[in-house]
Structure 1
Amino acid sequence: MSRGRAIENLGRAPVPEWEELARAAWPGKVPLAVAAWCGRANLTLLLLGLLTQFVAGWAHLPWLSLGAWVVSSVTDWLSTRADPPTSRLLDLVGIRPQVRGLLRSLLAASAVFAVVAPNAITAALSYVSVVLFVQLAWYLQPVLATWVSRSAPALRFEPQSAEQPAATARHLRIYARGAGTNPVILAIEVVALVEATLAASVPVGTNAALLGLTLSGALLETALIYLGWTAWQAHTARRDAAKMYEGLVDEMTAKQPSFLVYVSLGARQSKYIANQWLPALDALTQQGMLLVREASQLADLGATRHPVVYAPSPRDVERMLLPTLRVAFYLAYGERNGQLQRDPRLLHIMLLHGDSDKATSANNQARGVDEVWVAGPAAMERYPAAGIQMGREKFAVIGRPQVAELPIGPTGNEHPILLYAPTFEGYYDQTSYTSLDVMGVRLVRQLLRKHPEMRVWFRPHPASGVYRPSMLAAITEISTMLRQAGDGHLVTADEELTLNDCLTKADVLISDISSVATDYLYTERPVLTCNPQGMAQADFVAEFPTQASSYLIGPHLEGLEQALELAFGEDPLAPARLAMKKHVLGDTPDGPQAAFEGHVARVTAAR
């Protein structure tokens, strides 16, 4: 795993909703490729720049300090759009962009003060004066953004698009000024620093020195004018908030959506929770809408034909309950679901985002919705098995539209591909099913050593490492092994392969108790399931019934070689796997998408 990925998994400092929104659709013009490159170099250039400025001050080399300031500052600005992991790490320890800028400014001022010339002190003081006003303008940009956000309306959002609706773009411009390194602030200060460096080397009383003082005054005024301009835009945005809200409601009402998909998830989970439903939702004939509660979901949300509305507050949710809406779909048991579920006018339906024997698949909160739509009979059986008694009429079987396009049967690969796709450690001890940090490294090492005929692909769960550092260490070690092995071995993230891309190509899957394993049943190819707790086979299958058609691997890799021999040989579990496929993924006559469409038509017409 790359250093950037390791840093990214540490998380980022909490930021306001308005900053997450700004980063979801950055309004600047810096090309993303340039921003990404600068993001990778940002931390290195920051540290080198500060060190160079420090040395330049002691060596009385103000021009060297100026050069280091420019390189470090410009890199910081260019990387803002990419939101690099290194910047997140700096944010996490309190070194936000304004602090980084102030550190550079202090060292730059020291270098000017250190010049052995009569005008150096005056030049340095004039630069410091500009810096004070620049910092004032910079620090107040987030304050103004927060002020605007508190009265902002719900906003239309176009996922994966550089062009946003007018009201959204208007707010983004204000919010972006408070996030990262501001280019206008940067331009004002670089002019002040160049002027101070020049003025420090000319005799006192010359026209150049006088011009420098005049320019410093003009720069002070420019910083204040820029701050005033942002304040005016913030004021007008607040003034027009009610009008923008009316326009949004009118626009959405004209679309006449009959259902709403409620997206409220853990930070940045839309990538693997919401996005898996978008193709099925887009294929519906009915018009719907997505209501997104957290701005952190927007950057990774996929493009969709259904309008997306960012609605952060409970009042936003209330105001977006349009008269044509009949149904609300939920993708997870989010903490904020109740802010919509309280409304009795809608039919509330839980879709979830996968089917597996994980304890979370049978959640007592299901009692609070009107219907639970499941892939197959296996999902319905989990509820009474967990002590949750709900009538059969509360369930609807729709299959798994997400896997309907997966090819069935042998892949025809020249070299068989074995996909190792472990789950994450879970949010509770009860749901810690992962094999990754228990046996994953040994598993991959043995596969590489004993099976040169295979190609090993590795796809860990995106949330791996949320609690256990050992998960990140295992990812790093496995990724390093596969990259060094080369010759078709692959860390799937390196090629940006989707889960379905991986399932399509894999001849055999090794996984854990996870919806990845149940989705793979659709291909009818062999599944090997890890048993990291070393449970007896009978107990394992009793607790996880869908694994009756899987070959099991113990925590010390016992059973691995036999399982591989059977999977690539006579495959005695093939009939059981076919039966389990129907039991888990449903046996819908016209396919899962048709079943999904039919049930959506039923519930939207019934109210």
Structure 2
Amino acid sequence: MTKLRGLGRATLLGAALLTLSYLVMLAGVIAGSWWVFALGAAGSYAMDALLLHRLHNLAKLIQQIRLGITPRGLLRQLLVLGLLITTTTATSTGIGMVLLVFLLLFCLQLMAGIAARMLRVSRKLPIVTRNIDLAPLNIPDSPPMPLVREPMSRLLPLDAFLVFGVVGYVWFGSAWVVAAGALLTVGVTVLGLLMLVWHIRRARTIPSADRVMEFTQSWLDSYRPEVVLYFSGSADSAYQANMWLETMAGLGRRGIIVLRERVIAAQLAPTPVPVLCVPASTDLMALDFGPARVALYPANTGKNIHMLRNPMLKHVFIGHGDSDKIASVNPFSKVYDEVWTAGRAGLDRYVRAQVGVRPDEIVEVGRPQLDSIRTDSAPNSVRTVLYAPTWEGWTDEPGNTSLMDAGPTLIAQLLKARPGVRVLYKPHPFTGLRSPLARTAHRRIVALLEEANRAAGHGDREDPALAALDRRLAAFDDDRGATDEAHNSREESGADPGAVREVAILTEEWHRVYWEGRPDTAHLVIQGPRPSLYSCFNQADLLISDISSVVADFVATEKPYAITNCEGITHEEFRVKHPTSSAAYLLLPDGEGLDTALAAVHLREGDELAGLRRELRTYLLGPSDTSSMSRFAAAVDDLYDRAAALRPLSPLGGESPAELSRP
């Protein structure tokens, strides 16, 4: 039951309609009714289209239980044969001919499936790139997407002409209807097969995987990277790499972004820095990064080992945010040469944890992403509260998140607060990934905010200007468009500073239109990459969150923040355990303490923790007299110089002959 509740209404409704369509076809066979069968068959084809284009979760589920497009198509063909057999005018010869056509169609579809796989393999490069010239690889244009992405889900339903031809025969009694349907079905299937074969022949100009990797090494030798940003992660974690793109572009050294997953390469935001995605570990470990001497790691993942084994590099864990959570002092961090934290708090955290990271290996570099954060009051007529809980985590430790224990209660109290406040709810991207209780709490919060908006007369409405900006930005968001991966890598061969600037301008304009287009009294549920978390910071007068990097980042605004103590310990114990809470207004799961936090927002004299927040900002993020970007760049330069001194470069940019001769 837990799994069923987590599937979602659309998935459950889709499963019910798919099942109903086949039951209706079966009923048509039993009753010998052509129109009942036709109704069920039409429904089954409609569901095939929805599974391909809309109901992706349901498509994955039924594929796992072996009810994919192929068995569904065979079952539909079996049922239409049953309908034909029940028809008194049908002859054994006619039934046999229809069966032969189905067998011929199955053979053609099998050949098409093999050809589609061959095409996919022939066009799948061992690398995915951006801002790297792939002209020498002679990559032809992408085939039409129906031939590349799930081609069999598009070819198999082409039996519709024959299926409805049989239905027409049962209705009219004319064999020509069946013959016409058979010719159309076989004809379009043969056409699809011929197109696949033609594109396979075109793809033969693409070099072999070994040749592509030789080209990659040749490009690295000519580019001579100095700093590597290395990232591996799940599809939902692309934001962890995206947050470092602007920093990489701002370094005064030649940088390269090395990824391991194709899905991350597809979701990576625009950047002028060359991007090289190498999914296979053997391919990555065979590459020589020449003069590169610094590797930066935003996340601790198992695939990091494939770059960590490179002794030419100094390996640095930079993370994707500091917090008091146990994840911020992962014992795995001791495999790096250095760990870079925003401020002194990070160093103290590792010292207390005693996980093997020595104090001399920790460098305070600030948080470059926070240089543009505003510290002035939010530009709203109504005070705004941002509720940004973290996700439930991989364990059930108390205090991982306030979402289940306190989330709906806090939102309900905020909606009743006087003077009134506006609520922005921005959950963590991983919310509900593991816990059904988290998904339930999230849905309850969304329902509360939607109900409050309806009561205030704030209905959902389409914003044409925002929709137009969405369409323009969609072209830059990822490469899941009308072309395949190899084609995209070829087309994105040159870094286009104009494109990066255009995205920045469009994004800024998108945020302006979004915030100006919403009444100050309208509560907002904010999910996805836009609006960004930092733009929500600029709109908020008060943050309510959990022990996470969100709190440490928000401290840069010097505005009041509150943390919910869901660990069952006293506030004094909580502050000792979590230093980032030292300047926070602490809440209990029942909302106790919320009035004090809101008073700090409404009355300046009620903000008794303002001085502590300024001190905490320096402790968490470092001094504010210099930009974090300049400190970070200086740290990169210093480490590079030290690493190059240990392993000198030859005039050609690689390791010196003397260094190579060392044991």
Report if TM-score (shorter chain) is over 0.5. yes
CA contact (8 A) 1:52 1:65 kept: yes
Deviation at 1:519, TM superposition (A): 0.7
Which residue in 2 is equivalent to 1:535?
569
| 3-state secondary structure, aligned to 1:445 | helix
Moved more, 216-225 or 420-429: 216-225
Deviation at 1:279, TM superposition (A): 2.3
How do 1:361-376 and structure 2 match up within 5 A?
361-376=328-343
Moved more, 431-440 or 481-490: 431-440
TM-score (norm 1): 0.81
Deviation at 1:368, TM superposition (A): 1.0
Which residue in 2 is equivalent to 1:553?
587
CA contact (8 A) 1:424 1:433 kept: yes
| 3-state secondary structure, aligned to 2:271 | coil
Which residue in 2 is equivalent to 1:193?
163
Which residue in 2 is equivalent to 1:20?
none
Deviations 1:426-484, CA, capped at 9 Å, x for gaps: 12345852111111111111221234611112111111223221000000111111011
Which residue in 1 is equivalent to 2:628?
592
CA contact (8 A) 1:510 1:530 kept: yes
- Aligned partner of 2:537 among 497, 503, 513: 503
Greater RCO, 1 or 2 (C-alpha within 8 Å, sep 6+): 2
| 3-state secondary structure, aligned to 1:348 | strand
Distance 1:447 1:197, change over 3 A: same
Deviations 1:496-530, CA, capped at 9 Å, x for gaps: 42211211211101001011111111111101001
Distance 1:216 1:349, change over 3 A: closer
Deviation at 1:389, TM superposition (A): 5.0
- Aligned partner of 1:433 among 382, 385, 400: 400
Deviations 1:96-125, CA, capped at 9 Å, x for gaps: 333444444444444444444325624541
CA contact (8 A) 2:129 2:276 kept: yes
Alignment pair present for 1:96 and 2:68: yes
- Aligned partner of 2:320 among 328, 349, 353: 353
Give the residue type in structure 2 aligned to 1:558.
E
Q: How far apart are the structure 1 equivalents of 2:635 and 2:74?
A: 59
CA contact (8 A) 1:5 1:85 kept: no
| 3-state secondary structure, aligned to 1:528 | strand
Alignment pair present for 1:300 and 2:272: no
Which residue in 2 is equivalent to 1:341?
308
Moved more, 78-87 or 504-513: 78-87
Q: How far apart are the structure 1 equivalents of 2:216 and 2:398?
A: 41
CA contact (8 A) 1:355 1:361 kept: yes
Moved more, 282-291 or 236-245: 236-245
Give the residue type in structure 2 aligned to 1:586.
G
Give the residue type in structure 2 aligned to 1:96.
G
Distance 1:215 1:181, change over 3 A: closer
| 3-state secondary structure, aligned to 2:582 | helix
| 3-state secondary structure, aligned to 1:519 | helix
Deviation at 1:4, TM superposition (A): 13
Q: How far apart are the structure 2 equivalents of 1:495 and 1:363?
A: 27
Q: Which runs of 5+ in 1 are unaligned?
A: 11-37
Which residue in 2 is equivalent to 1:86?
58
Q: How far apart are the structure 2 equivalents of 1:86 and 1:76?
A: 11
Give the residue type in structure 2 aligned to 1:489.
H
Alignment pair present for 1:573 and 2:540: no
Q: How far apart are the structure 2 equivalents of 1:214 and 1:397?
A: 72
Which residue in 1 is equivalent to 2:434?
467
CA contact (8 A) 1:408 1:523 kept: yes
Which residue in 1 is equivalent to 2:90?
118
Distance 1:47 1:428, change over 3 A: same
Deviation at 1:128, TM superposition (A): 2.5
Which residue in 1 is equivalent to 2:638?
602
Task: Give aligned-pair identity as a percent.
Answer: 27
Give the residue type in structure 1 aligned to 2:287.
M
CA contact (8 A) 1:127 1:216 kept: no
Distance 1:318 1:70, change over 3 A: farther
Q: How far apart are the structure 1 equivalents of 2:77 and 2:409?
A: 51
Which residue in 2 is equivalent to 1:244?
212
Q: How far apart are the structure 2 equivalents of 1:590 and 1:298?
A: 33
Which residue in 2 is equivalent to 1:331?
298
Q: How far apart are the structure 1 equivalents of 2:317 and 2:427?
A: 26
CA contact (8 A) 2:551 2:580 kept: no
Distance 1:106 1:167, change over 3 A: farther
Q: How far apart are the structure 2 equivalents of 1:112 and 1:378?
A: 77
Give the residue type in structure 1 aligned to 2:329.
A
Alignment pair present for 1:155 and 2:191: no
- Aligned partner of 1:316 among 283, 294, 303: 283
Which residue in 2 is equivalent to 1:32?
none
Q: How far apart are the structure 1 equivalents of 2:4 and 2:136?
A: 34
Deviations 1:265-287, CA, capped at 9 Å, x for gaps: 2x213333112222222333433
Distance 1:588 1:102, change over 3 A: farther
Moved more, 365-374 or 442-451: 442-451
CA contact (8 A) 1:130 1:192 kept: no
Give the residue type in structure 2 aligned to 1:154.
I
Deviations 1:47-83, CA, capped at 9 Å, x for gaps: 5543553444445455775576466546645764667
Which residue in 2 is equivalent to 1:53?
25
Deviation at 1:196, TM superposition (A): 4.3
Alignment pair present for 1:445 and 2:481: no
- What RMSD over aligned residues (CA atoms) do the two structures have, in Å? 4.0
Which residue in 1 is equivalent to 2:370?
403
Q: How far apart are the structure 1 equivalents of 2:335 and 2:25?
A: 61
Give the residue type in structure 2 aligned to 1:193.
V
CA contact (8 A) 1:66 1:108 kept: no
Q: How far apart are the structure 2 equivalents of 1:541 and 1:348?
A: 33
| 3-state secondary structure, aligned to 1:509 | strand
Moved more, 342-351 or 241-250: 241-250
Give the residue type in structure 2 aligned to 1:336.
K
TM-score (norm 2): 0.75
Q: How far apart are the structure 1 equivalents of 2:190 and 2:329?
A: 63
Deviation at 1:562, TM superposition (A): 2.6
Moved more, 587-596 or 462-471: 587-596
Deviation at 1:93, TM superposition (A): 4.2
- Aligned partner of 1:523 among 557, 572, 596: 557
Deviation at 1:367, TM superposition (A): 1.5
Equivalenced residue count is: 570
CA contact (8 A) 2:308 2:315 kept: yes
Which residue in 2 is equivalent to 1:287?
254
CA contact (8 A) 2:325 2:547 kept: yes
Which residue in 1 is equivalent to 2:103?
129
Which residue in 2 is equivalent to 1:180?
150
CA contact (8 A) 1:292 1:312 kept: yes
Distance 1:97 1:156, change over 3 A: farther
